Homo-oligomer: A and B are copies of this chain.
Amino acid sequence: MKRIESTKNPQVKQWKKLLTRKERDKTRLFLIEGFHLVEEALASGVSLVQLIIEESKAIPSEWNVGHIPITVVTEGVMREISDTETPQGIAAVCRQLSDESLDWSKAKLLLVDAVQDPGNVGTMIRTADAAGVDAVILGEGCVDVYNPKVIRATQGSLFHLPIIRGSLSKWMQTLKEKNIPIYGTSLENGDDYRKVHASGAFALLVGNEGSGVSKEWLEQTTKNLYIPIHGQAESLNVAVATGILLYHLRG
């Protein structure tokens, strides 16, 4: 078992770089933290490249990690590579999932246009997972799914379904060719969501916190839906709206 005590060790610098999107994109790796997330990653079959454990902590004996290189580090090193204020003392380097092939005949998809808040994107992935969605497509302008704040907010759901960074234009084209209805979301025009029921495959397209789904995409959907506001709020939080619509559409 390797042991690292200095925050100046090149390996520590390499781990720390994974907190930037640039490095994650380059290496196709990402860093996760905490016992719950590492356990979820192990259970999901995600490829763990390396386990990092603080010297005062122990890897739970029931974990099957014999095949993964383990590095023991000091508290200072763990603090250096952590994105949280109170690190749990365990982290792992994981390989990013590649896009999986979908069974299009019954695919339920969530398409996300330019949502930038990490907590919102993470909660949307968790919600999509709960609602039985088959894949989440993060379009241009979305925060990186491997951002530590996004990972935390997913509560492990990023290991349960493919999260694909893609071009909304290409995806909408493909969905049209497969005759899968695309439901956009709009505050202004469109149909009251309660009037629309999906059966089988569908794609729900939700958008940016402030400006919603961009007009360009709303013009290419099958239908655009709105959630009526009964009180005086101007809008719903995008993750809450996603939950209401996904659960309604799947029935």
How far is A237 from B244 in the complex, measured between Cα atoms in Å? 12
Nearest B residue (CB) for A227: B247
**A119 to chain B: closest residue by CB:** B119
A243 at the interface (CB under 8 A from B): yes
Q: A130 contacts which of B126, B233, B243 (Cβ < 8 Å)?
A: B233
B160 with A231: CB separation less than 8 A: yes
Instruction: Type the 1/0 row for A59-82, where 1 means its CB is closer than 8 Å to any CB of B.
Output: 000000000000000000000000
How far is B119's CA from A119's CA once the two chains are assembled, in angstroms? Answer: 10
> Could you give, for residues 207-251 of chain A, a 1 whenever the CB lies within 8 Å of some chain B CB and a 0 otherwise?
000000000000000000001011111111101111110011011
Among B126, B227, B248, which residue has its beta carbon within 8 angstroms of that of A237? B126
Instruction: Report Cα–Cα, A131/B123, bound state, in Å.
Output: 20
Distance of A98 Cα from B187 Cα, bound (Å): 33
C-alpha gap A129/B240 in the complex (Å): 13
Given A132-B230, A243-B243, A236 and B157 touching (CB < 8 A)?
no
| A131, closest chain B residue (CB) | B230
A127 adjacent to chain B (CB < 8 Å): yes
Contact A236 B130 (CB under 8 A): yes
Give chain A interface residues in 138-181, CB to chain B under 8 Å: 155-157, 160-161
A41 CB contacts on chain B under 8 angstroms: none
- Of the four ranges (under 10, 10 to 19, 20 to 34, 35 or more), the interface on chain A belongs to 35 or more
Interface string of A107-143 (1 = CB under 8 A from B): 0000000000001000100111111110000000000
- Which of A156, A234, A248 has most chain B Cβ within 10 Å? A234
For residue A160, which residues in chain B have a CB less than 8 angstroms away from its CB? Answer: 231-233
Closest beta carbon of chain B to A101's beta carbon, Å? 18
Q: Which residues of chain B come closer than 8 Å to A127, judged between CB atoms?
A: 233, 236-237, 240
**Bound-complex Cα distance A79 to B194 (A):** 46
A244–B126 Cα distance when bound, in Å, is 14
Chain B residue at minimum C-beta to C-beta distance from A157: B233
Binding site for B on A (CB under 8 A): 119, 123, 126-133, 155-157, 160-161, 194, 227, 229-237, 239-244, 247-248, 250-251
A-B contact pairs, 26 of them (CB 8 A): A123-B240, A127-B233, A127-B237, A129-B232, A129-B233, A130-B230, A130-B235, A131-B230, A131-B231, A132-B231, A133-B231, A155-B233, A155-B234, A155-B235, A156-B233, A157-B231, A157-B232, A160-B233, A194-B251, A230-B250, A237-B243, A239-B239, A240-B242, A243-B243, A244-B247, A247-B248
